[in-house]
Amino acid sequence: MSGLEATLADVARQYDDLQAELARPESMADPNALRRLGRELARLEPVVEAFRELNATRDELRGARELRDAEADGELRDMARAEVDRLEAAEIDLVEKLKLLLLPRDPSDDKDVILEIRAGAGGEEAALFASELLRMYLAYAGRHRYKAEVMSLNETGIGGVKEAIVGISGDGAYSRLKFEGGTHRVQRVPSTESSGRIHTSTATVVVMPEAEETEIEIDEEKDLRIDVKRSSGPGGQSVNTTDSAVRITHLPTGTVVEIQDEKSQHKNKAKAMAVLRARLLDAERVRQRDADSATRRSMIGSGDRADKIRTYNYPQDRVTDHRVNVDLSNLPRVLDGELDRLIDTLITTDQAERLAALVDAEPATA
């Protein structure tokens, strides 16, 4: 039995055990157990169904091969050969499907997202580019019917963005956006450039899964310093007349989060805590990844801010993703949120790399 088949047989046994557990009276009477078992069964069901289909296909294939080898009549033998070809192709497709289904799943894929955009090198032009990236991601969220909320926005005087924090919630939000983290670069002639010289500016994007309160332990009395002040807009303009801006410092790590967009101090604090938990969880994920020397380092990058992932070239009307060597024309459409071609390529590349690692690690026999 191959390593893949042994794994599939084990998944099928787990599925049967879960169904047996679900049928017990004590499980039926426990809502928490019902939710847990339902989630596990839903996760395993596609694998088990495809495995059973594979076994049925292989049974048919054995019969078709026997008929092909035993049949003397030319027409019947040709029909048997055609059936063998069809079933062999179906077998290959099912094996590939099962490999994808068995890939280790990022437990954060179903989570909501906290996305941070910051202007990088390039002064005011970088801030204007950061503003365009913000609109791009808000438009992308709208196309996918995700709920997007600007949690914090630090603007410049002429419409640029120094820093923006956005919460994006919806089914699979993190799985779709997680490869957007890194340095984005724009090449164009700024409106203030009289000589027509092309400038290069950057903005950094950080994509973090929203953390549950139970995932990050924070002792508010010991770990946090919470400062409250009056909110202010660009140029020191007062946003409101109450002391509602909240600045939270996580003393053990020095992480600082400031939120002032809401008029309610309590709402600003809740948002700041959500961002803080996400940043702390993200930092822990990075530490674990860096500590594990065997961790896969994918060509699509780790989301580090130093990774130059994409260039938006205005003179050539082209967007280039450097991780997968994909060029798209019609830059305005991309900036209007049409990112699916890029994101789909990144996802399939990631899957292909992990499939290759799975095949390399699989023993020939078991």
All CATH 3.30.70.1660 domain ranges of the chain, comma separated, are 108-210+305-366
Percent of the chain at pLDDT above 70? 87
At 229, give phi and psi (nearest 5°).
-150, 175
Residues pairing with 199 in the sheet: 188
Is the pLDDT at 366 greater than 50, yes or no? no
Residues pairing with 227 in the sheet: 247
Is the pLDDT at 297 greater than 80, yes or no? no
Question: What is the pLDDT confidence band of residue 238, given thresholds at 50, 70 and 90?
Answer: very low
What CATH code would you report for 108-210+305-366?
Answer: 3.30.70.1660
All CATH 1.20.58 domain ranges of the chain, comma separated, are 3-102
CATH of range 213-293; options 3.30.160.20, 1.20.120.1200, 3.40.50.10310, 1.20.1250.20:
3.30.160.20
Average pLDDT over residues 71-92: 88
pLDDT in tens, 147-159: 999 999 999 888 8
Angle, in degrees to the nearest 10, between helices 3-22 and 31-70:
140
Tell which wins on pLDDT, 58 or 296: 58
Question: What is the pLDDT confidence band of residue 365, given thresholds at 50, 70 and 90?
Answer: very low
For the full predicted model, state whether its pTM sits above 0.85: no
Which long-range contacts does 227-235 make (Cβ < 8 Å, 24+ apart)? 228/265, 231/260, 231/261, 232/260, 233/155, 234/155, 234/156, 234/157, 235/157
